[in-house]
Structure 1
């Protein structure tokens, strides 16, 4: 069945959030919904205690669309809050349309919308283009049936993601049980500077000056000899889509930052101090800019250190060495000076073995998640083509 289509401008009204200034933020009052509160459910809220217009109020169940920096559609599940700039609140005041159906329709077109994003630092979609985008509009009862099918498929995806989170929580609980809190140190481990156990601590610019690197290294969008691993790749656990490549000559030139897997990668600027464990990709990989790469000596297991720095206290150990009010940075010397508990290597290896078994379980679940997401995408394609009902 073919459906009629409607432009977004004719489907609803879109209220852009208020541009709250940092000096207006508070630790009490009404929470402010920023993009990071949508993309990261554990994101810290800022609050506002002043007067505000009713149109900026967001209630549970409202549909929100982030249109700058990160494009996404969300259904708000929290308490009453206030809408920040760069986010639309959807007001369904023009046509009869199911809220959940609308959410999925927007989700589907977002990938297409991303082709029209503008800006290098703050990517955004223009309001003019947004208004012109069209979505299918089947009869209301059909909308509800489509939404119900997609809700069920999304529920399965969400449950699988929750299981993956539980596995991560299990590993963290095992760490604390075996080694205790890294700061309170209830087991009384000796602490030593991390630098005593570092074999290599390097970064991209260890390979030469800015001019030399500019003349010898070019980042490529098309697949080539080696992957240039960046923070965004590590953060998303994605090393295949929208990544950067370098030629074999560039890879061989960057001799000091070849990545083989198992290294600790630490952001040196921006989200300074964030720690990643580099997976083994079984292909040539080179370290990107604005990161440190660490290889450890035999006295410390890399898996142990990675999970140490990802406990709440371990993160504090690093963040206490981050400097800068606006642009956060961390130095090599600061990393070397971090005091870490030196636990028995045998115990570290036992923990690493538990982690590896858990990662095997996670890999199976991740594969299952990919299959679920593929099924969801297929259902969504068929639904909006009129092939389900």
Structure 2
């Protein structure tokens, strides 16, 4: 890998003249400028000010064409035997903390960056892996777009079937959420899972990251042991429970379904268990209406620290149809066997780092050979 750091030039925002060329820094595009330094496909790796402690935000990204880079990102030109898309996939979520220095502002120096070890499979294999991951990103993007369109459609259907929220009709009634469901917080005692309690397989330990677009997302799971789970007094999800976030992204809500018969929720979530005459599908559809979500945001942001409380949610008025008009509950996520599905799912293996999520996960692809490795400064 060639480091082109000597060619970087920082320009203060006040001294920048706006132009047609992108101006990049540690975390992506910082603005626009009237000149350029580089004009080729390159990889930028955060030097200081990067999201080194946040694996979801990334620390590396690709650029191409005429561009300007400041001194907060290392500029890397891959050697001929390295595919730039593959290299970006390796580095974008790499755990760089062992290479970071600085007590007040985290920094990845050029000297330390050169010590980073990366896998080097054959070039064709690099391209195959990169193509698979690019395709996965494209599918996720299309999924988000489809969900956004579906949300608009489902809102219209909901109003057509049950009326506008907060307005009663002859075939519906209004009840407080607390009267038609049971709330269950997680076990927040000294027994709360932490440290060595967190495993790579076992009973799912759900966090707010497992609710994406108001759906349960099992793509990134933590686990606890069965014995630890048994020692906890509450916060244990059942099939068809609703799980809602109380902190962070307020009011994100999903139905607990899928391959697991139970899971433990973290301290930022709460279980809403509808009573027998309330459909979880209906209640989830209601709680995820834009008007309801906006209301939850408003009441949650009223506190010094944005959060929702069980008391606030208990008093939320729910306009619901009579049981005969409500939609049927979803089919059981369990198999047809009389035994619940409790087989643990392990985290995917990685090529190099716990945050370097390049794994041979495609079912139609042959297993990857164990690749050679090299440092970023390797020839």
TM-score (norm 1): 0.58
Aligned to 2:87: 105
Q: Distance in 1 between matches of 2:115 and 2:185?
A: 45
Aligned to 1:230: 207
Give the match's secondary structure for 1:256.
coil
Q: Pairwise mapping of residues 229-378 of structure 1 onto structure 2 (< 5 A)?
A: 229-235=206-212, 237-238=217-218, 241=221, 243-246=222-225, 248=227, 250-324=228-302, 327-345=305-323, 348-349=326-327, 373=362
Q: CA deviation at 1:282?
A: 3.5
CA contact (8 A) 2:211 2:252 kept: no
**Which ranges in structure 2 are unaligned for 5 or more consecutive residues?**
14-21, 332-358, 375-379
Determine whether 1:198 maps to 2:180: yes
Q: CA deviation at 1:306?
A: 2.1
Alignment deviations for residues 31-68 of structure 1 (CA, whole Å, 9 cap, x no partner)? 99996xx8xxxxxx9x99xxx99899999987554542
Aligned to 2:143: 164
Q: Pairwise mapping of residues 115-194 of structure 1 onto structure 2 (< 5 A)?
A: 116=98, 126-127=108-109, 129-133=112-116, 152-165=131-144, 167-169=146-148, 171-180=150-159, 185=164, 189-190=168-169, 192-194=174-176
Give the match's secondary structure for 1:327.
coil
Higher helix share goes to which structure? Answer: 1
Structure 1 125/56 Cα, relative in aligned 2: closer, same or farther at 3 Å? farther
Structure 1 246/159 Cα, relative in aligned 2: closer, same or farther at 3 Å? closer
Structure 1 132/321 Cα, relative in aligned 2: closer, same or farther at 3 Å? same
Give the match's secondary structure for 2:183.
strand
Aligned to 2:61: 74
Q: CA deviation at 1:320?
A: 1.8
Which range moved further: 303-312 or 177-186?
A: 177-186
Q: CA deviation at 1:105?
A: 0.9
Q: Distance in 1 between matches of 2:75 and 2:5?
A: 5
Q: Distance in 2 between matches of 1:108 and 1:289?
A: 32
- The number of equivalent residue pairs is 320
Give the match's secondary structure for 1:132.
coil
Alignment deviations for residues 88-119 of structure 1 (CA, whole Å, 9 cap, x no partner)? 54545xx5758x93342132245653573879
CA contact (8 A) 2:243 2:269 kept: yes
Q: Distance in 2 between matches of 1:165 and 1:146?
A: 29
